[in-house]
């Protein structure tokens, strides 16, 4: 399979970076995301994981991908996939204010832009994610925009994922 790439953008800020899908390490997750693109949603900045931005989406597969290429210590440029039930992390502070029901109720697609991240949540413990992509171009500019988002706020900003042209 040829390498596949996507563009990840903070729309309002006009910042875009390019990521390579890690088809060799997370094939099921990569296929699920690729087949659903484009995706976009309100952006949130992490509170516990440190240097992370993310957007939340309804489940977009009939069967949730397994945990592939897992990490609890993502590095700069990692794109991670998380799936949560409504009862997990169920607070508006994180954007997880969806309906509570059995099974996956939302998908969290995250971008890590700096080092020293730890996926440990005080409410539920370790939160491993699937690393399904790696930023290959534009990480420095994206990190600067993410720091601005942290300082000035995320209101009105969209995180989008689309196939690279």
- pTM over 0.85? The answer is yes
Question: Residue 92 — pLDDT band, cuts 50, 70, 90?
Answer: low
CA-wise closest residue to 64 among 147, 148, 130, 142:
130
Predicted local distance difference test score (pLDDT) of residue 106: 86
User: Which whole number is the average pLDDT over 2-16?
Assistant: 97
* Residue 95 reports pLDDT greater than 60: no
Q: Is the pLDDT of residue 111 over 60?
A: yes
37-60: average pLDDT: 92
Q: What is the largest CA-CA distance in the chain?
A: 41
Q: Are the beta carbons of 43 and 56 closer than 8 angstroms?
A: no
pLDDT of 48 reads 74
Helix (H) or strand (E) holding 20: strand 15-21
Residues 6+ positions from 94 with CB-CB distance below 8 Å: 44, 47
- For 121-147, what is the mean pLDDT? 94
| Mean pLDDT value of segment 137-165 | 96
Q: Does 77 have pLDDT greater than 90?
A: yes
Domains along the chain with CATH numbers: 5-163 (2.40.100.20)
For residue 124, the model assigns a pLDDT of 78
Percentage of the chain beyond pLDDT 70 is 88
Mean pLDDT of the chain: 90
């Amino acid at each position: 399979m040829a390498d596949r790439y996507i563009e990840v953008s903070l729309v309002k800020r006009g910042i875009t970076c390019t990521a390579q899908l890690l088809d060799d390490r997370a094939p099921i997750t990569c296929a699920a995301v690729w087949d659903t693109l484009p995706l976009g949603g309100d952006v949130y900045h992490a509170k516990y994981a440190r240097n992370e931005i993310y957007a939340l989406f309804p489940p977009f597969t009939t069967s949730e991908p397994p945990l592939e290429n897992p990490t609890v210590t993502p590095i700069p440029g990692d794109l991670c996939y998380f799936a949560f039930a409504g009862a997990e992390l169920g607070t508006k502070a994180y954007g997880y204010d969806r309906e509570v029901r059995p099974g996956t109720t939302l998908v969290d697609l995250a971008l890590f832009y700096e080092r020293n991240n730890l996926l440990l949540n005080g409410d539920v413990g370790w939160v491993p994610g699937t690393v399904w992509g790696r930023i290959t171009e534009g990480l420095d500019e994206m990190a600067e925009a993410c720091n601005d988002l942290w300082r000035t706020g995320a209101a009105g900003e969209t995180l989008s994922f689309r196939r690279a042209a």
